[in-house]
Structure 1
Amino acid sequence: MTPLVSVIICVRNGADTLGRQLAAVEAQRSTHPFELVIVDNGSTDGTAELIRHWAAEVHDAERFPVQIVDGGSVPGIPAARNAGIRRARGRVLAFCDADDAIRDGWIQAFGDALRDREALAGGSVHPHHPGDSETGASALGVVQTPYLSHVGGACMAVTRAACDAVGGFDQTLPTYGFEDVVFSWRVQEAGFPLLSVPDAAVDFTVSGNSASIRKRFRLGQGRVLMARRFPAYDARRYTVGGTLKDAVGVSVGVLGAALRTRSVDRADAGRVVAAWGCVYGCIVYGPLGGLLKRRLGARSGTGS
């Protein structure tokens, strides 16, 4: 039977967390036929072995089919999701993250919402900090911005027609950050509506310190690109000099506070990293980045 819903999970080095999400998918009960597409985006920690073991020894193959996709050739969330889209057979493409857990009724809710209409939909998100026994209050997955609303990639679904109309996720973006925002905007620009589906709920795992730091840097980098592509969203003119001044100022301020209190606030550390990510973004996406690419391309072409 051809599935209506294709659940797409992209993972990289998720051996310690993926099992929780797989169990959540296995526990789903839906009147809509569905499949699971797992994209391994170049894991090196035993994730591939975990997936194979789960598919062969734990999963009940009579309930729904599973496809395992090697998506390691191009790193990053946009490329991994596009690899899953290419293999998916469903009319509805539903995305969730490897370190979260979808709640009962997630597939049913997205299937009900998109079965008879072409659209993009976002569910509700319940933040969960690792080590805590409880999750936070839910937040609807539709976020307002100065330009257009968007949904979060950890809890979203889109019809095949809407996805194909915009060519999937934008792989020119950084490997993390804003891919769900840009996708949402492009789908709406193409004429498709954005829906809120509160019954499609997910327990969202807040990243630990090391992962959060990496993500904050990529978000800072992506912020520059977003401002240049979508000035209605962010009208600021990011320059190397301006962002460098800001980054130094933020760093000095946070360092001073850390010396006084003998501790570093996590949010302050994130601000520092994001500020330096903006500097990097100005270099990569500005004239200097273009010059470096041309120089490197010329050297590669001459074999030097």
Structure 2
Amino acid sequence: MLEDPLFSVVIPSYRSASMVGEAVRSALAQDARSLEVIVVDDGSPTEDAQAAEAAGEGDPCLRIIVQHNMGVSAARNTGIRTARGRFIAFLDADDVLLPGALSAHLAAFEEHPELALSFGRVRFWDPAFGEKGRQSARCFSLSLPRILGDNQVCTASNMVVRTEDARQINGFDEALRRAEDQDFLARLYLGGYRTRGLDRLTLNYRTVSGGLSSDLDLFAADWRKAVEKARLLAPGDVALAEPEIEARFARYAVRRRLRLGTSGARDLSLLAGHLVKAPGLLLKEPRRCFSTFIGAAAAPLFRHPHLTRVLSR
């Protein structure tokens, strides 16, 4: 193993024995070969550690840590504590780094030495349909509404951060099972750390209807905790941004329910009420707002696939 790897790819794994191997291979195949890959088996009842080891085929860059189940945030924090690289790339066990992803992030850090975190664009990916999923929109700079409202970084798997900065903000909040990536980003942003987006596809982000974020009631509870934590850090900033934060989250929730086929009649009035309080969002992102509004209005008339096509435009 290299003495001082440039990157530490941290892969938390729980009940992912059938998928973690693909994540490991995508990390080990990166052209930025100065790396280590740390798989943290978070007390999984499936054979995640064995699957990761098999995928590594004896590669000395692969390290496997097995711990008692403590949740995804604790697993990532184990990776942060043990990482030896200058940068940490987070990668969930069901996601896949695309070729050249780490080199693209490295170029951003070299061009902008003050940078604490880099993120790319993701493909919302269902392996059953191949690489035909829609892609996240370009986002070069973050704001509090973009972080807390609808998380335009999309997922922790899309974040590469300087190791020293991740440690400085004490990693992920282990009390959060959901919205922990938004909380991490908000603390980084409010701490004055610099972030930057790349106009490059860097990740296949697996979408599954049974994922953590599919249960919107539980997700909303942890999301609210993340907002309140940000309020304690910067009450004035959160108060100023709150109408747009709430409108963005309402839009996100409606879009999730539409894709899951669970949208109800109250979604239309919910979305309209929040957009009235944050009319600036209509000016910033008219297409996304209106497509969601149309989807909510049409929900009683069309089947789920039709709504998905509307929202993917």
Identity of aligned residues (%): 25
2:188 aligned residue: 187
For residues 228 and 53 of structure 2, the distance between their equivalents in structure 1, rounded to whole angstroms, comes to 42
Distance between the aligned counterparts of 1:129 and 1:224, measured in 2? 29
2:170 equivalent among 163, 167, 172 = 167
1:16–1:79 Cα change, 3 Å? same
The question of whether the paired residues in 1 share the 8 Å contact of 2:182 and 2:226 is answered with no
**Which among 79, 85, 95 is matched to residue 84 of structure 1?**
79
Counterpart in 2 of 1:158? 161
Distance 1:235 1:199, change over 3 A: closer
* Residues 85/227 of structure 1: CA separation in 2 closer, same or farther (3 Å cut): closer
- Structure 1, unaligned stretches of length 5 or more? 237-249, 255-263, 273-304
Deviation at residue 137 of structure 1 after TM alignment: 3.1
Structure 1 residues 230, 2: CA separation in 2 closer, same or farther (over 3 Å shift)?
Answer: closer
Mapped contact 1:227–1:235 kept (Cα < 8 A): no
Q: Which of 92, 111, 130 is the equivalent residue of 2:106? A: 111
Counterpart-to-counterpart distance in 1, 2:45 and 2:165: 34
- Distance 1:14-1:114 versus aligned 2 partners, 3 A rule: same
Name which of 6, 10, 20 aligns with 2:8: 6
| CA–CA distance in structure 1, aligned partners of residues 52 and 38 of structure 2 | 11
Cα deviations by residue, 1:67-96 (Å, 9 ceiling, x for unpaired): 11123342x221111011111101111111
Counterpart position of 2:226: 226
Cα separation, partners in 2 of 1:118 and 1:83, compared to 1, 3 Å: same
2:102 is aligned with 1:100? no
Looking at structure 2, the residues matched to 202 and 28 of structure 1 have their Cα atoms a distance apart, in angstroms, of: 12
**TM-score (ref. length: structure 2):** 0.66
Q: Secondary structure, in 3 states, of the residue corresponding to 1:97?
A: coil
Q: What is the CA-CA distance between 1:125 and the residue it aligns to?
A: 0.2
Q: For residues 146 and 85 of structure 1, do their structure 2 counterparts lie closer, same or farther at Cα, with a shift above 3 Å needed?
A: closer
Alpha-carbon distance change, 214 to 158 in structure 1, aligned in 2, over 3 angstroms? same
Q: When you count helix as a share of all residues, which structure comes out higher? A: 2
Q: Offset of 1:184 from its aligned partner?
A: 0.9
2:125 counterpart residue number: 128
- How does 1:1-304 map onto structure 2 within 5 Å? 1-30=3-32, 33-55=34-56, 58-61=57-60, 65-74=61-70, 76-115=71-110, 116-139=113-136, 140=138, 147=145, 149=147, 151=153, 152-173=155-176, 175=177, 177-199=178-200, 201-207=202-208, 209-211=209-211, 215-230=215-230, 232=238, 234=242, 266-268=260-262
Gaps of 5+ in 2: 232-237, 245-253, 267-313
Q: What is the alpha-carbon distance in structure 2 between the residues aligned to residue 211 and residue 186 of structure 1?
A: 25
TM-score by length of 1: 0.68
Q: 1:141 to 1:219 in 2, by over 3 A?
A: farther
Taking the aligned partners of 2:115 and 2:37, their CA distance within structure 1 comes to: 21
- Provide the rounded CA distance (Å) in 2 between the counterparts of 1:229 and 1:14: 31
What is the Cα deviation at residue 218 of structure 1?
Answer: 3.0
Deviates more, 1:151-160 or 1:128-137: 128-137
Between the aligned partners of 2:26 and 2:172, the Cα distance in structure 1 is 25
Cα distance in structure 2, aligned partners of 1:89 and 1:271: 51
Q: Deviations over 1:98-117 (max 9, x none)?
A: 11111110111122222444
Larger Rg: 1
